Amino acid sequence: MNVTIVDYQSGNISSVINSFTEVAKGKVNLEVTSDIKKIKSSDKIVLPGQGSFKSCVDSLKSINGLVDTLKEFAITKKNPLLGICVGLQMFADVGYEQAETKGLGWIPGKVSKINNQKGKFKLPHIGWNEIEIQKESKIFKDIKNKSHMYFVHSYEFIPEDKSVISATTDYSSKIVCSVEKDNLFGTQFHPEKSDKIGLKIIDNFIKL
Amino acid sequence: MLKNRIIPCLDVKNGRIVKGINFVELKDAGDPVEQAKIYSDGGADEICFLDITASNENRETIIDIVRKTAKECFVPLTVGGGVRTIKNITDLLLAGADKVSINTAAVKNVDFVKEASKKFGSQCIVVAIDAKKVSDNKWEVFTHGGRNKTGIDAVEFAKKVEENGAGEILLTSMDKDGTKSGYDVDLLKTITNSTNIPVIASGGVGTLDHLYDGIVKGGASAVLAASIFHYGEYKIKDAKEYLNSKNVSVRL
C-alpha cells in the first residue's frame, strides 16, 4: 500500500513525516511528494497544513493540477484522505484568516476565528485538550473518549451539516476537532504530536 | 478543558545538557536525546531545548540533536538559542522542531518576529523574554543570556511581541533562574494580565509547589523547569500527580 503525504510547501511538515514514518515502518510504503503522478497512484493521502488558511490554499493552488488531482482522488474516486489542522480546515467552502479565501468546498461550512469571549480564553488554543467523541469514527478505533490531543490553532471549522462531526473539544465553546464524511477524515488537533495516542490514530488511518 | 502544560527544559551546551545558576556556572547533566526520550515517555507535555552557547560554529550540533530527538519523541518540541535569521528557523523546523524560541533577535528587531510569524505561522513562534526586576512592579528586558541590559520595559515588550505575531511568550525571571526559590509570581501575573497569548513560566523552580504557584497565582498556561527534573529530584509524573491533587488540571 502507498500512503502519500502531500508536500505543498505548507510550512513545517517534519513532524508529520516523522510520526507517519514511525507508524508506517514495515507496514506501508510512505511517500512525501507533490508529484501529481505519485499522488494519483497512491492509496491514501495525508493533507497537512500549517500557517494561515490563505497561505495553505495559495500554496495548494500554486502547484499545477494539484487541487484537481486531490478532488478526483477524494471526491470522485472516494479514496481515504486525512486532513490535519489547516489540512482539515481547507475542506470548507470559505475561510476568514488573513482575508476571505475560498476553500476546497468538500464539506460545506466555514472557518472562522474562535470566539474567545473578549480575551477570556487565550489564543492560540495551544496545548493538550480532551476530545469528546460525537460519533463512531474509523480513525478512533481503540481511542477512549476524553483522550488528550495536542492542539495549536486560533481558527475553527464550522460545518453546516453537524452529522460530519466525529469529535469536539471544549475551549470557550464546543469546537469541532474531528470530522468524518465517507472517505474524508480530518483532525484539528495534531495526531503527529499527540504522543502514543496520536500515533494510534495515524495507525488507524493507515490500516483503513 | 485545556490542560496546564509541564515542560522540562534542556539547556544544551556543545551537545551536552547543562544547567546554570543565574545563567553562569554550568554543571553537566547528560545526553540531551536520551533525556528527552525519558521525559517524553514520562508524560512531558512538551520538550524545550535551549542552546545556551549557540555560536554560529556549533549550530549543526543542536540541529543534529533536534533531528535525533524528533524521530523518537512525538510531543511538541521547542528549540531556542541563537535563533537570528529566517534560515535558522527553517533549519530547526526541517530538523523536526515544532516551535522556535526567539530571544535577542526579537529585542534587536521586533520586525523579525513579524516576518517569522508571517512566514511560518504564529503557532511556531515563541518569544523568550528574560526579565530582571528594576523597581517595584517594574522589570527590564535583558539579552545575550542575561548579560546585556536593554532599557526596555518587559511588559511593554510582551505586548509588542504579541502585536507582532508571537504565538507564545516564554518568560524567564533573571533574578530567580537557578535559585530554586520559585518563579517571580508578580512578574508572571503582570505579564499574563497584560497579554492575550499563552505565557510559559520559567526560572526558579525548586519544588512542586512552585509549579502550582506559576499556574494558579501567576496565571501561566505552562510551567517550565530544568534542574528539578534533570537531577531526578522529581519525575514529570510526580509533578502532574501533585498538581492534580491540588485541583490543577493536567494531562495524566
CA distance A45 to A82: 6
Q: What would the pLDDT profile of B215-240 be if each residue is shown by its tens digit?
A: 999 999 999 998 898 877 899 999 99
Return the SS3 of B150. Answer: strand
Q: Which of A15, A7, A51 is nearest to B95 (CA)?
A: A15
- Domain extent listing, chain B: 5-245
pLDDT at position B136 over 80: yes
Chain A residues with beta carbon closer than 8 angstroms to that of B168 = 124, 126
CB contact under 8 A, A127 and B221: yes
pLDDT value of position A12? 81
Contact A104, A174 (CB under 8 A): no
Write the ipTM. 0.92
Distance of CA A170 to the CA centre of its chain: 18
Tally C-beta pairs within 8 A across A and B: 100
Kindly write down the DSSP assignment for every residue of B212-252, as one continuous string: HIIIIIT--SEEEESHHHHTSSS-HHHHHHHHHHTT-----
Q: How confident is the model at residue B20 (pLDDT cuts 50, 70, 90)?
A: low
The CATH topology of domain B5-245 is TIM Barrel (3.20.20)
Chain A residues with beta carbon closer than 8 angstroms to that of B119 = 51
Give the range of the structural domain holding residue A110, as residue numbers without chain letter: 2-207
pLDDT value of position B56? 57
The answer to whether B95 faces chain A, any CB pair under 8 Å, is yes
Contact B122, A154 (CB under 8 A): yes
> Active-site residues of B: which are they?
11, 130
Which candidate from A14, A153, A195 shows the least CB-CB separation from B96? A14
DSSP state of B58: G
Q: How confident is the model at residue B24 (pLDDT cuts 50, 70, 90)?
A: very low
Q: How confident is the model at residue B27 (pLDDT cuts 50, 70, 90)?
A: low
Q: What would the pLDDT profile of A143-158 be if each residue is shown by its tens digit?
A: 999 999 999 999 999 9
CB contact under 8 A, B1 and A126: no
pLDDT value of position A125? 95
Which candidate from B1, B96, B122 shows the least CB-CB separation from A129? B1
CA distance A86 to A187: 9
- Using a cut of 0.90, tell me whether the model's pTM lies above it: yes
CATH number, domain of A115, equals 3.40.50.880
Count of structural domains within chain A: 1
Chain B residues with beta carbon closer than 8 angstroms to that of A12 = 93-94, 97-98, 120, 124
Specify whether A56 is catalytic: no
Structure-block grid coordinates of residue A196: 502514543
Chain B residues with beta carbon closer than 8 angstroms to that of A148 = 3, 251
Distance, in angstroms, between A150 CA and closest chain B CA? Answer: 8
- In this structure, how many other beta carbons lie within 10 angstroms of the beta carbon of residue B53? 17
Residue type, B33: V
CA distance A117 to A126: 16
A192: closest chain B residue by CA? B74
List chain A pLDDT tens, one digit each, 208 residues: 999 999 998 778 899 999 999 999 989 999 999 999 999 999 999 999 988 899 999 999 999 999 999 999 999 999 999 999 999 999 999 999 989 999 999 999 999 999 989 888 999 999 999 999 999 999 999 999 999 999 999 999 999 999 999 999 999 999 999 999 999 999 999 999 999 999 999 999 999 9
Structure-block grid coordinates of residue B18: 547543562
Kindly write down the DSSP assignment for every residue of A125-161, as one continuous string: EEEEEEEEE-S--GGGTTPPTT-EEEEEESEEEEESS
